[in-house]
Structure 1
Amino acid sequence: MTAVAERTDRARKGWYLYGWASHTFPTVVVTVFMSRYLTSVAENAVGRNGRVHVLGLPIAPGSLFAYTVTASTVVLVLLMPLVGAVADRTRRKRDIMLGCGWVGAAACVAMVAVAGTNWALGVGLFAVAFLGYSCSIVVSYSLLVDLSVAADRDRASSVGWAISYIGGGLLLAADFALSLFVDKPTLARIALCTAGLWWILFSLPVRRMLPRELGTGIGTARSGSLLAEGFGQLAATVRHVRGFPLTLAFLGAFLVYNDGIETVTTVAAQYGDKELQLSDTVLLLGILLVQFVAYAGALGVGRLGERIGAKRVVLGTLVVWIVAVGIAYELQVGVAWQFFALAGLIALVLGGSQALSRSIFSRLIPAGSEAQYFAFYEISDAGTSFLGPLLFGLAYQNTGNYRSALISLVVFFVVGFVLLLLVPVRRGIVAAGNPPPERI
């Protein structure tokens, strides 16, 4: 192996390691603990049928988490493209990724202080963690282009997702062991705090493994403040992206179906707890099962994408998602094996559908604008999205029924399937100036 190849291999391992470190946020914080714990803290304050008031608006405790995600995503619509523009312009992707990530991780560590009826502190800390994670992942996703060539991008993306699931799964396994000895509120506070500590600890070596500068930007700001230049670059990107309508078409399809994917995974623990009345032990085992099955699923779906084409495989996974939501609607209260079976089905397609979507999009980006374009992509993929949680929250607020709220999400998979089917991906890749793979 040449010296250049060795440096590239080391850098890619560093990128994988950051996925291992940071995936504790979507796995432990978002999917398992914060949705249920924030709901419980709000219920402690006003009761299950009461209302908390945010900026004068009455909100049901069961909708508070979904609305917090929605509000945070609105902020991301403005923030993430700016972060991506600065990252592309300065080439300081490593430092921006880690800096944003450590802010999010610190907020997770501080969640140990959320207790009793202090739901407002929980909302604030989660919002900061959500913003920090999302901005760091924007830059992380753009590194896929810098650290791989077109021929092995599907594989690199799938391996990255698979390793991320193992990282989140190992910490979740430790949380499961702890659940046997402590009460639910204590478990939640410790799990949220240790998710941040894990994130910080395992991302420390990443700074040594990744080069200081990556990408094809100018490397330094030429004049004025960096922030002003970032806004200028963002404006240029918005004008530029209009020249690639097929890239926008794929992004639109992804934004729709990924809303469904991320919202289902975000509210899964809340649904299992509040609607199916499953114990913490069952919920943790089910979601732990997802992490390790998803490891194999991401690798398997990635290989299938290489054989028959990534777009075809993603379309197939969306059909499975539609079936899975329908099954979830029919699950019986308190029946653990049904929950486990559904978790296994979802796990088989979860990582693969997201990894291959990321790989497809990376080919639709013109060279030199990776972080900026992935900022628009990540608005939907940052652990959850805007419309999905909003629809779920509104459905629950108006019906008081989690099953009705969940089944409403089917529309995202159906519409996303149709939109993706209509996108001529090969033409889009060529239009972006990139070589298309043999199979799409």
Structure 2
Amino acid sequence: MTATAAGPTGPTTIIPRTRVLAWGLWDWGGAAFNAVVTTFVFTVYLTGKSFGGEAFVSAQLGWTLGVAGILVALLAPITGQRSDVSGRRKFWLAVNTYIVVVVTALMFFVEPSPSYLWLGLLLLAVGTVFFEFASVNYNAMLTSVSTRATIGKVSGFGWSMGYFGGIVLLLIVYFGLIHPAPDGDNGLAVRLSMLIAAAWLGLFALPVLIAVPEYTAPAASRREKVSFFGSYVRLGHDIARLWRTSRHTVYFLIASAVFRDGLTGVFTFGGILAAGTFGFSAGEVIIFAIAANVTAGVSTVVIGRLDDRIGPKPVIVGALVGLVICGLAVFFLHDAGQTAFWVFGLALCLFVGPAQSASRSFLARVIPAGREGEVFGLYATTGKAATFLAPTAFAIFVTIGGAQYWGILGIVLVLAVGLAVLIPVSAKQPELS
């Protein structure tokens, strides 16, 4: 990939394809935590009967992840800001990533017994916090491997690598360990999966650390170092200046927080709806999950190129409109059987990846050199601040309608609200200063 600039606003240079591939491989490796630890394997294992009553364990899991989310919301902008100032963005990506690697490997020691529940929850919380910190540094590096002409394509490439990496790793751990695992194996299949996931992330995190140069802030944008608590004072001043000078960036952070939670809800509750409302077996849910990741990955690559041609906002708006329409179709066709869910469920996945990727590229286009970590930290914070929306809306509509499929309307509502907040945001806004 031949490109100009060390970032969208940087000096002219050449960005080789190998550097872009190395950056994207971190997303491929990150699937180990996203898909195996927090979605399909470890959290399912942890909420099983071996660790206690379903309601009790599920509640503790919710509280644990809630506390982790609060810590991310409070600390992500500061850790991002300090990596910008120190000029050690890649260094902190390495530190945060390999803390996650170690924590994931330690999950091997969580045996299926109530006495190990709190160890499992603690490791999950710590891993979640540091994976989010690593993601802030990783997202901030997008401008080091792309230009204004390629940023959408590169962002889409990264997201798609995450989807495809998740597919490959799920196939390995599910068919290699979990699916044939006999009863009474003391959770060994899942525990060994955690070692594989740790090795997967550790291995595929190496290329970005080797091939992508460390960030160096331009002289004009360098800022003096301050204490940890002084960073909060600086953050307050920066947010106030951001509100004065680029208010639409603030609006976008708010809008993206809402619709990104809706996007998360599509995957979070998709499996639940497939099994509960449409009668999928456990094996069929896994097959659908793989198909969903393939669909999302391919569409993200293809539409990432459209992002560079027409801009990220039309991509996001189009994707959200498509999600609302397909979500309503799933709701109204809930009695039509599995075929309806296969068609419109996969159609939902068709739009999820492009919306996520274009959201990242939209923000990256307006961040000045030297403040990527800080602003992507705010991106993480606003996202965490809104994580209650989709689950709460899902629960409210299920309660109102008295059936699981009514929860679809809750997710659709969150997506529609995010779309409504996004529409007034100007796509051509001044760069931050």
Q: TM-score range by the shorter chain?
A: 0.7 to 0.9
CA distance in 1, matches of 2:195, 2:278: 27
| Segment of structure 1 superposing worse, 416-425 or 364-373 | 364-373
- Alignment match, 1:57: none
Q: Do the aligned residues in 1 keep the contact of 2:389 with 2:414 (CA within 8 Å)?
A: no
Q: Letter of the 2:268 partner, please give it.
A: T
CA distance in 2, matches of 1:328, 1:111: 37
1:191 to 190, 193, 204: 193
Kindly indicate whether residue 21 of structure 2 is the aligned counterpart of residue 19 of structure 1. no
Q: Letter of the 1:182 partner, please give it.
A: A
> How far off its partner does 1:24 sit?
2.4
- Alignment match, 1:313: 315
| Segment of structure 1 superposing worse, 33-42 or 165-174 | 33-42
**Counterparts of residues 73-222 of structure 1 (less than 5 Å):** 73-112=69-108, 113-117=110-114, 118-178=116-176, 179-183=178-182, 186-216=188-218
CA distance in 2, matches of 1:353, 1:107: 30
Q: Do the aligned residues in 2 keep the contact of 1:11 with 1:211 (CA within 8 Å)?
A: no
Q: Letter of the 1:301 partner, please give it.
A: I
**Change in 2 beyond 3 A, CA 1:147/1:194:** same
| Segment of structure 1 superposing worse, 110-119 or 322-331 | 322-331
**Change in 2 beyond 3 A, CA 1:190/1:8:** same
> How far off its partner does 1:88 sit?
0.9
Q: Letter of the 1:237 partner, please give it.
A: D
Size of the alignment, in residue pairs?
Answer: 418
Q: Letter of the 2:180 partner, please give it.
A: F
- Alignment match, 1:45: 52
CA deviation map 1:52-99 (0-9, x unaligned)? 2xxxxxxxx555544443332222111101111111111111111121
Q: Do the aligned residues in 1 keep the contact of 2:73 with 2:382 (CA within 8 Å)?
A: no
Q: Do the aligned residues in 2 keep the contact of 1:322 with 1:413 (CA within 8 Å)?
A: yes
> How far off its partner does 1:301 sit?
1.5
| Segment of structure 1 superposing worse, 319-328 or 240-249 | 319-328
CA distance in 1, matches of 2:294, 2:82: 36
CA distance in 2, matches of 1:397, 1:379: 29
Q: Letter of the 1:12 partner, please give it.
A: V
Give the TM-score normalised by structure 2: 0.84
**Counterparts of residues 256-275 of structure 1 (less than 5 Å):** 256-273=258-275
CA distance in 2, matches of 1:328, 1:353: 19
**Change in 2 beyond 3 A, CA 1:24/1:315:** same
| Aligned Cα root-mean-square deviation (Å) | 3.4
Q: Letter of the 2:325 partner, please give it.
A: V
Q: Letter of the 1:157 partner, please give it.
A: S
- Alignment match, 2:235: 234
CA deviation map 1:257-308 (0-9, x unaligned)? 1111112223433444566553332122111112222221001212233344
- Alignment match, 2:296: 294
Q: Letter of the 1:352 partner, please give it.
A: P
> How far off its partner does 1:205 sit?
3.3
CA deviation map 1:385-413 (0-9, x unaligned)? 34334544677799996434443222211
CA distance in 2, matches of 1:340, 1:190: 32
| Segment of structure 1 superposing worse, 118-127 or 96-105 | 118-127
Q: Do the aligned residues in 2 keep the contact of 1:11 with 1:209 (CA within 8 Å)?
A: yes
Name structure 1 gaps, 5 residues minimum: 53-60, 434-440
Q: What SS does the corresponding residue of 2:40 show, helix, strand or coil? A: helix
Q: Letter of the 1:181 partner, please give it.
A: P
**Change in 2 beyond 3 A, CA 1:194/1:319:** same
Q: Do the aligned residues in 2 keep the contact of 1:90 with 1:219 (CA within 8 Å)?
A: no
Q: Do the aligned residues in 1 keep the contact of 2:36 with 2:197 (CA within 8 Å)?
A: yes
Q: Do the aligned residues in 2 keep the contact of 1:89 with 1:233 (CA within 8 Å)?
A: no
CA distance in 2, matches of 1:64, 1:394: 21
| Segment of structure 1 superposing worse, 116-125 or 384-393 | 384-393
CA deviation map 1:320-370 (0-9, x unaligned)? 222343345467699655554344223321211111111111123233211
Identity of aligned residues (%): 23
Q: Letter of the 1:322 partner, please give it.
A: V
CA distance in 2, matches of 1:26, 1:326: 27
CA distance in 2, matches of 1:363, 1:303: 15
CA distance in 2, matches of 1:39, 1:274: 17
Name structure 2 gaps, 5 residues minimum: 5-11
CA distance in 2, matches of 1:406, 1:64: 25
- Alignment match, 1:347: 349
